[in-house]
Each structure stands twice: as structure tokens, then as C-alpha cells.
Amino acid sequence: MRYLKILIIGLLLTLPVLATADVEDLPGSAVWYFHIDLEQMREDGPGQGVYTWLQEEAFSDIREEAGVDLDSELDSMTAFSLAGAGPVILFEGNISQETRDKVMTFVAAEGDLTPLKASGKTYYHFSGTDGDETLKLSNGDFEIDIESLEDEAWVSLALKNKILITGTEEQMQGLLANNGKIAGRNSHDGALLVLSAEKTLLQAGMNSTAMGDDADSDWESNILRNTEQVAFMMAAAADKLALEAKLVTTEPEMAESLASVVRGLVSLMAFSDDVDEEMVAMIQGTKVEARGNNLSISLAIAPDLVVRTLSE
């Protein structure tokens, strides 16, 4: 089980730490993106186990601490960050008036209630946290530190069934002018990789070159230092969860080296006493392909195994 966890966590490490902008509409200048489709996870199928895990690990704490029921109010979340412009975060779902009121209370406490206008739609300025205080979401097991929203942000509730947060006023004005839609990634050179499937549950990707520009960056691993782009996807495929990751490396030799590491992990699991025969057969179905600077890894796995691995 230890080797399986290394393999799955290795795939999940492609996630950036964190309208709707459809994922197909992500701007080519994005440094990272993240999209989760909770509505698709709730449907009868392999995504339900992951959804239940999210309920237990995150949603329940948010409900207890903030009184917001993500289970009934949130259908999807899309987030991305543009170079030099900070993040854009969009929540979509059946957002209750009570939750909207809580957002406005948050703005009133740390921002300005004077309404601003763009294209006939209202938005507000959040001035940021005071002193050394940081914006964090935490449940004890994991923590997201939204450092780029500490100084200021802009918030809008004007789009139907959406809460939109941007790192700059220009981003907010542009998104409101287009009812939350943005220029798609297909209109830009050097756009980020986006993996997709018929029933996609989660997508993420990043420009790891940009992440590594900062000498103090947390993204200092041997893998990320030698990659230019990373993309990850989780999708429902019959009764299995399909996990797929793709890396664009700086050199073809690095793609081959990483492929060798993944194949080695798969082989080690076949000889582990902790892995039963059925699980070995499933893991041995991992497809690893290195072609030039591109490395692709894909795996179809039972959802209960994914949840059990994440929970251990």
C-alpha cells in the first residue's frame, strides 16, 4: 500500500495549491488552474466515494465553522492565476442568501461597502488582512494559504448563482463585462495543458517554470525544477476512476528518467506483501509513455482504493 500511495500522491502533486470560466476557456497566460465539478461527483458513479471523502475532510468543518453548507450550495469551483495579476476564483451553485450575507459581512469587516460598478454590475473592494495576519483555510490535515489575496481583492455577487473573487480590479471589470467568460486558452500561444474527458471530476495544471522563478518558492523539487508544464485530471470511467497526468520536461532525458521511476514503483508493488493480487493487476495496468519532452501517466483504479489511500 505504501508504494501505491506514493504513486497516487505523485499524480496528485501535479495539483497547484489551490465565470464559470469553463476550463476550455482558461487564458493562455495562466500560471496555474484548478477546476472541480462537485455536481458530477454527486452523481451515481465512481466519483461518489471521493465526494464523501471531501464531505468528511473539508465540507463538514466549513459547515461547523462558517455555517456554509457546500454540499447543497456549491456545484463547481474554478480558480486560476495569471502572471503578475494574482488569482481568480469562481464559485458556482445554488448560493443561498445567507451565504451571500456572510460574504458581505466579510467584506464589511476587511473592506469597503461602497458599491463599485462595471458593465452595470456591482462589485466590492476587499482591502486585505491587517499586519501579519494571513488568509488560510485549514482543517488540521491540510492548509491552503491564499497569500496573493492578503493585500487586496475584489468580490462580486452580481453574476447569477456565482461568487467571483479576483486579485485585481482590471480582472473583475473584464470578467463582469463578459458575464464571467474570459478569452479562451486557444487564442494564446504557450497556453497551459488541459486534460479532459467525458465525465471529468477534477482538472488542474500549472506552468512549473513560472513557479520556479522565485528563489523562495515552495515548488523546489527535482521534478518541478526539470519540468515546464504539468497537468492532472480525475474522471469517471465506467465503475473506475481514471487518473491521468502529463508533464512537459525541460529535456527528453528527464521524461525518460521519470518514466523509469514510475515503472519502478509499479514493479515494486507487485512484490509487496501489502498489496493483494487484484490490486496488483489493477496497478499493473498503469500506462507510462515518454515521447520527446512529454511524459504521460494514466491509471484506472477502483474508487474505494483511491479514497482508502488518501485517508491513510
pLDDT of residue 296: 92
- Over residues 15-26, the mean pLDDT reads 41
No. of H helices and E strands in the chain?
Answer: 12, 14
Instruction: Give a yes or no: residue 180 inside a domain.
Output: yes
pLDDT of residue 134: 45
In a domain, 235, yes or no: no
Model pLDDT, residue 182: 62
**Average pLDDT taken over every residue of the chain:** 76
> How does pLDDT run across 159-188, given as a tens digit for each residue?
999 999 998 999 999 999 988 776 554 444
Domain interval for residue 54: 41-185
State pLDDT tens for residues 228-266: 888 899 999 888 999 999 999 989 999 999 899 888 888
d(CA 23, CA 40): 15
In a domain, 138, yes or no: yes
Give the type of residue at 19.
Answer: A
Sign of the C-alpha dihedral, residues 119, 120, 121, 125?
positive
Report if residue 163 sits inside a domain: yes
CB 197 within 8 A of CB 116: no
Q: Identify which has the larger pLDDT, 193 or 289.
A: 289
Q: Is position 145 within any domain?
A: yes
C-alpha cell at 311: 485517508
Domain contains 173: yes
Whether 93 contacts 68, CB under 8 Å: no
Contact 212, 219 (CB under 8 A): yes
Question: Of 5, 63, 32, which is closest to residue 274 (Cα–Cα)?
Answer: 5
Domain tally, the chain: 1
Give a yes or no: residue 160 inside a domain: yes
The percent of residues in the chain predicted with pLDDT above 90, rounded, is: 22
Q: Calculate helix-pair angle for 47-54, 303-311, nearest 10 degrees.
A: 20
With a cut of 90, say whether residue 291 has pLDDT above it: yes
Domain assignment present for residue 282? The answer is no
Residue with more model confidence, 214 or 262: 262
- The pLDDT assigned to 289 comes to 93
pLDDT of residue 151: 62
Which amino acid is located at 136 in the chain?
K
